[in-house]
Amino acid sequence: MAECGASGSGSSGDSLDKSITLPPDEIFRNLENAKRFAIDIGGSLTKLAYYSTVQHKVARVRSFDYSGKDTEQDHEPPYEVSVQEEVTARLHFVKFENTYIEACLDFIKDHLVSTETKVIQATGGGAYRFKDLIEEKLQLRVDKEDVMTCLIKGCNFVLKNIPHEAFVYQKDSDPEFRFQTNHPNIFPYLLVNIGSGVSIVKVETEDRFEWIGGSSIGGGTFWGLGALLTKTKKFDELLHLASKGQHRNVDMLVQDIYGGAHQTLGLGGSLIASSFGKSAMADREFSKEDMAKSLLHMISNDIGQLACLYARLHALDRVYFGGFFIRGHPVTMRTITYSINFFSKGEVQALFLRHEGYLGAIGAFLKGAEQDNPNQYSWGENYAGSSGLMSSSPELCPTQRARSGTFDLLEMDRLERPLVNLPLLLDPSSYVPDTVDLTDDAPARKYWLTCFEEALDGVVKRAVASQPGSADAAERAEKFRQKYWGKLQTLRHQPFAYGTLTVRSLLDTREHCLNEFNFPDPYSKVKQKENGVALKCFPRVIRCLDALGWEERQLALVKGLLAGNVFDWGAKAVSDVLESDPQFGFEEAKMKLQERPWLVDSYSKWLQRLKGPPHKCALIFADNSGIDVILGVFPFVRELLSRGTEVILACNSGPALNDVTYCESLIVAERIAAMDPVVHSALREERLLLTQTGSSSPCLDLSRLDKGLAVLVRERGADLVVIEGMGRAVHTNYHAALRCESLKLAVIKNSWLAERLGGRLFSVIFKYEVPAE
């Protein structure tokens, strides 16, 4: 008997002090299950970290015993589906203003059930100031951790576990944030931490870093001199003044000294020759805004030049900036970016971090949890429980900005198995999974956000239908609707909130929100039924294929793969057909396909390759359950096996839409093996291996795959990768370059996308690629 599952999680909360504006179940979630705490207290912000266990609903699939039954005549489903409970681990990070610290500690004290430790790791200057208060309220002993060690540990953690963590700031772009793809090897890098002063640290490995320089002129200097010049005592107000100022009214520029002759020096006339240079000569008052802007430029330029010199001295091209001086303020990031670009002549980039404010708290937590070895796991950001990056631009989403000024949240879910790069990527450092960046492409962004909004009613209906025995399913589904709708509105205003906005991230956010309200697998019953129907058709399909001549069979197999890929409940054009016409099947899907030549058509090249020697091992990423995997993928697999090619069939670890999961594939393969000797012997002899991808997404990120899959690929010497489906082969990986032959195939089941690609609904992508010698 095979038994596997997919999960969804819930959250909890009660009431907080009335001075706190957000509902507590959106702040201190799963607090009753908290096991360990850490805290980072700065001059104005507190960052609390805690580890909790989360109760999940899990959709389990388990095969029946079919011995002695005629399965073709059997009308029972091929396996049973049940919902059970499971417990997994989650990291919570909450950022709030220090004015709320006592109210928050009181709430935690009142709702904390038990912890695994009597110690709370603390870092930041405020940890001394609030030490007695924390110990009194939480009855936990405060252990002070080194600030720099915590920052480095936190920085390493986010760079390894959050793909779109680092970004560059471009002031004239819309939006202004440009996210970077994480290099598979994050080391070495330079961390410039701008607090009261400036610390510059060279980070070489997980545990080896060195303080190499710094300056006493930092955020404290800006704050202190700014207060003297403007009488403004609050740091954020000072930055607000600077954002409205004109520094050239106070600063002496190159053109003020040299006039038109500055061009002969190779200098731009608008360059600052002397900060505050005009103030000594002008007999007038300067505005607070202009003085604040001049001061900000002076300090940012100094820090930028210093960072650039150290980066060049140590031959480093990755420089990350953090500290309270940054705090996501565009005017600060803009001036530092300009300074770095100017002094390095564009050779060094100023990089900022989406979760920069959490680095100390993350590092303090990791220090306290070393006995659990948290770095042996991979972690993933839970979009349902995270606030996302907020812009400080006044015109952008004032409601969200006001909320983020009070509380900001980050949640990370522990993945049960580590994730690594696919070894067959040509260049992991330049690999970008997603085909279209919706952050850049405004028409595509508008279309897809509207598309996901319009699909929401159908998703809610499907979620409720998946749990007919649940009394509160409709209520939970409505909460899901509200949460996901809210996320979509945030992304309309701030498309950079969770990194680069893509179709993949919109799909993943929806899955996270479904899990949050205990809908772990809304399509479980649909998949169960469709797998049962397809299994009954399998022997007939194989008989028809085996009756064909070799060349005719190859085309029939490919058309079968494509026809199977039509059965995608995530595509509205298909789900409308499937709901209105229950008789729509495999043969009807073939009729929908575009006639050759296809929109992208490398079939002749593929056929010619098949006339050569067999591949050693094929890695196939499957897409949908039912007809797709059973009548499309498995006959194709069977043909490869007959040629002498080993096959690794990789399926999702967890559910997404009607995609086949690893657990379901085990049962399907077992049933097919009972009907087909080719598949039966291949499974027995381990020439056909079923494995999981480590993903629970309708798309595919080849840089975050299950480590066990990567090991298999190396051991078996895979020399062909087959990626099928619109999510895996078009929305992602269409441009992915591999070190071996690849086959990317899909049916375009979205009219807007088909038109954009120059085709029509049900156009075919068949892309066979051979790497250059």
At residue 742, the pLDDT reads: 98
Q: In 407-549, which residue ranges form alpha helices assigned H by DSSP?
A: 442-454, 456-465, 473-493, 503-516, 524-546
- DSSP character for 626? T
- Residue 92 predicted with pLDDT over 60: yes
Q: CA separation (Å) from 495 to 158, 389, 408, 598?
A: 20, 9, 17, 34
User: Once rounded to an integer, what is the mean pLDDT over residues 566-570?
Assistant: 86
Q: Identify the burial level of 231 via C-beta atoms within 10 angstroms of its C-beta, where 0-12 means exposed, 13-18 middle and 19 or more buried.
A: exposed
Max mean pLDDT range (67-81, 156-170, 456-470, 717-731): 717-731
Q: Kindly state the average pLDDT of the residues 638-664.
A: 97
Given this model, what pLDDT does residue 71 score?
Answer: 46
- Give the Å distances, CA to CA, from 537 to 71, 296, 377, 638: 11, 71, 42, 16
Mean pLDDT of 355-376: 85
Q: What is the pLDDT of residue 552?
A: 98
Q: For residues 534 and 631, is the Cβ–Cβ distance under 8 A?
A: yes
CATH 3.40.50.10880 domain range(s) in the chain: 542-769
pLDDT for 22 equals 55
Provide CB contacts within 8 A for 484, sequence distance 6+: 456, 459, 509, 510, 513
- Helix (H), strand (E) at residue 237: helix 235-244
Which listed CATH number (1.10.760.10, 1.20.1700.10, 3.40.50.300, 3.30.70.100) goes with 434-517?
Answer: 1.20.1700.10
Q: Mean pLDDT, to the nearest integer, of 544-556?
A: 97
Cα distance between residue 191 and residue 313, in whole Å: 14
On the question of pLDDT at 165 being above 90, the answer is yes
Q: What is the pLDDT of residues 188-210, one digit of tens each?
A: 999 999 988 999 999 999 989 99
- At 504 the pLDDT is 97
pLDDT of residue 268: 81
Question: In this predicted model, what pLDDT tens digit does every residue of 114-149 receive, in sequence order?
Answer: 777 789 999 998 888 899 999 999 989 999 999 999
Q: Is pLDDT larger for residue 457 or for residue 374?
A: 457
- Is the model more confident about 75 or about 60? 60
Lowest mean pLDDT among 20-24, 298-302, 717-721: 20-24
Q: Is the pLDDT of residue 283 over 60?
A: yes
711-716: average pLDDT: 98
The pLDDT score that the predictor gives to residue 407 is 72
pLDDT of 74: 53
pTM of the predicted protein model: 0.90
Instruction: With cut-offs at 50, 70 and 90, classify the pLDDT of residue 572.
Output: confident
Q: Which amino acid is at 695?
A: S
Mean pLDDT of 585-608: 96
Is the domain covering 166-250+286-353 a CATH 3.30.420.40 domain?
A: yes
d(CA 206, CA 355): 19
pLDDT per residue as tens digits for the range 656-706: 999 999 999 999 999 999 999 999 999 999 999 999 999 999 999 999 999
* Start-end of CATH 1.20.1700.10 domains in the chain: 434-517
Percentage of the chain modeled with pLDDT above 90? 66
Answer whether residue 425 shows pLDDT above 90: yes
How far apart CA 354 and CA 356 sit, in angstroms, is: 6
Higher pLDDT, 378 or 175: 378
Q: pLDDT tens, 2-45?
A: 445 444 544 333 334 444 455 665 688 888 888 889 999 987 78
Mean pLDDT computed over 306-321: 95
In CATH, which of 3.30.70.100, 3.40.50.10880, 3.40.640.10, 2.40.30.20 is domain 542-769? Answer: 3.40.50.10880
DSSP SS3 for 596: coil
Location of each CATH 3.30.420.40 domain in the chain:
166-250+286-353
Segment 446-474 shows an average pLDDT of 95
- Give residue 436's pLDDT: 96
Contacts of 675 (CB under 8 A, 6+ apart): 71, 538, 539
